[in-house]
Amino acid sequence: MHQVQSLWIEVALFAFVFLVVLPALGLVVRRVFRRGKRSEYRAVALLSPAEANFYRCLVELYGASAVVCPKVRLVDLVRPSQEMDRSKFQIAFNRVSSKHVDYVLLRPEDLGVLGVVELDDRSHSRQDRADRDGFVDDALRQGGIPVCRVKARRQYDLNDLSQQLNEAFATPVSETAGA
């Protein structure tokens, strides 16, 4: 009787370890192992829905007469003068390297810059955004790159947008684009 009772205790203990302890231990091990491999990054959309809508308007207006590049770093368009001393250069470089512009229009034949288009939503009325916009506009102006600021809307009148872009840039919107 004592042996039968001992056997049942061993079976119950084995079952408890097999059914409860090992799975729990496995869960802990998986969490620890996964924590070490968890990615620090996740994919995000390049453009918001409003930015994507405006991008399509630019492509429709310019057709093949310009390449539209969204979200270009400011430092890829303008750089600080090499004539600055090293510390001033680094400060100026850091200021332009930490910003981007919404759209850059390029000539298709040589990929030279036609101009920059900034899409201004409600946040651009804040003082910090106005300061940032002023800095970006000034840096581009010093680099000889024209800027056109367009107020963000749900929908755009392509004729009005075309007129605004033509006033801002030396190269007009194609007469045949969008037709």
pLDDT for the residue 100: 95
What percentage of residues in the chain have a pLDDT greater than 90?
62
Q: Which residue, among 49, 156, 58, has the nearest Cα to 115 in the 3D structure?
A: 58
Q: pLDDT tens, 53-106? A: 999 999 999 999 999 999 999 999 999 988 889 999 999 999 999 899 999 999
Q: Are 88 and 63 spatial neighbours (Cβ–Cβ below 8 Å)? A: no
Q: pLDDT tens, 128-147? A: 888 999 999 999 999 999 99
Q: Which residue, among 150, 140, 97, 96, has the nearest Cα to 115 in the 3D structure?
A: 140
d(CA 9, CA 3): 10
For the full predicted model, state whether its pTM sits above 0.85: no
Half-sphere exposure (CA, 13 Å, Cβ side) for 75? 12
Q: Are 117 and 148 spatial neighbours (Cβ–Cβ below 8 Å)? A: yes
Sequence spans of domains, the chain: 1-43, 49-168
